[in-house]
Structure 1
Amino acid sequence: MTEQAAETGRRRRGSAATREAILEAATSRFASNGYGGSGVREIAADAGVTAALVNRYFGTKEGLFAEVIERAFDSGDLLGGARADLAARLARRMVFGREDAKDISRTPMLLLLRSATEPRAAELLRANLDRTFMRPLAKILGGPDAEVRAGFVAAQITGFATLDQMIQTEAFTGIDREQLAAFLTVVLDHFIG
């Protein structure tokens, strides 16, 4: 049976499009229901494929979740620029989201909040965060307590995102977004130095 014949019939597509459909469906499910509340069958149905096809591409639900968080928490573009404007780049991303993303600015926070209480999901989140953000940031920061300072940067942006994107506190909704980015830049710059 071909890959296209294995799909449930919503539409025929190539392997890249199938993989992308599965990732989009999984991202939506994990962000809505968390790791524990999302099943491979439901994700497959959302993507218009079979559960066997999901497993063929990603191996397990754990492998699928790892790929979802890899994409959602990608911060390589933020850490690749000059250190002098790192605080401003981070602040602007948190306040304005990704320019190249289609209305998914809340997805990383939803994944974090809805899955962090699941032991295996928390382990995957921690490993991803350490590998893709904390260690590279600590290397950029250098000097004494670089790892601790990187942790404080992550704590500040995560706390900000929780209040701004999830809770939508009045303190942040009533202020000009440029001014909010400027305030967050000052806070982050304290730890970045």
Structure 2
Amino acid sequence: MIKLIILDRDGVINQDSNAYVKTPEEWVPLPGSINAIVRLCRAGYTVVIATNQSGLGRGLFDTNTLDAMHSKLADLLLPFNVGVAGIFYCPHSPEDQCGCRKPASGLLDQIAKKWAVSLAGVPLVGDSLRDLQAGLTHQCMPILVRTGKGAETEKILRQQEEVILRQANIFDDLAQAADYLCARARL
């Protein structure tokens, strides 16, 4: 049986920007994130990414540029002989009201279909409420990291006493989440 993990991209793997990550030069991995992906792969996880990329719909960059950003990630993982098994992205802006933009389930539907598995219990790591909400549409294990928008997301959810926060594991970053998941995988 395949052991999937779903990661958000901006704010989890790489630095996020309110002005959008628009070029490979702006795509900068967060400290420890590349090593975390390596460790997850070596622990038997099939790593996939589910990411909203509304910069495409807003005309801030094109698919070739997005592919170049993802090639940069692949190049950083290559020396470790691991890689991301799939990158699923929503190219739409929020105004498009599509079915794939998180918190909608579309990206996760695609992942479940590609691997022909239920995503129940699959760890989903994100830094925003919409990541966690998307994960819960498939009964994923929600994991919130404090990088990117995560610290602010945690603060808002605590103020609102959101039930979703009680369901989530919370870690400082992807490296800490990977520590937890890799230790759990050994049990």
TM over 0.5: no
Larger Rg, first or second structure (1 or 2): 1
Q: Kindly indicate which of the two structures has a greater share of residues assigned to helix.
A: 1
Q: Kindly indicate which of the two structures has a greater share of residues assigned to strand.
A: 2
TM-score normalised to the size of structure 2? 0.32
